Amino acid sequence: MTSRTAPSRLPVRETEALLEDLARGDQSPGQIAKRHNMTVAQLTRWATSPSAAERIENARRLANERAALAVAVARVAAASALHRWALNTEHPETARRACVDLLKLDQHPPADEPAPQPEPADLSAESREAIRAALEHIESRTTPAEPSDQ
């Protein structure tokens, strides 16, 4: 950046390079400013200009959406693992906890939405049936057999 260039009016390539450096998160603001021949004050002025602030906000939203997607994918894997544990464990308490955790998975709101007031989980019929079957399976393995009268 030249001393005559207003921070809010950077060339497109310089703006994109600054956004990339900010998004990477591996450098301090001072390092980013120095890399782009700016002072921290100039970088701050640029970042708070309307067009740069809008681009930074859009990049933040994108990063949040990517993180939410990663969490959603991980929740599917976790639910699958919990389901397997609930069906295959020899320990009733472990199975019970896995089922409780499965029920709780459906109660978590997306990261960008406020948590709703506590309500019963609104599971699909298929989910309820799978959990009921898992609980019945666990109960059948953990209920002692009735003594026979012989």
* pLDDT mean over 90-102: 77
Task: Decide which of 27 and 145 is more confident.
Answer: 27
pTM over 0.85: no
Structure tokens at 124: 């699909």
Per-residue confidence (pLDDT) for residue 35, from 0 to 100: 94
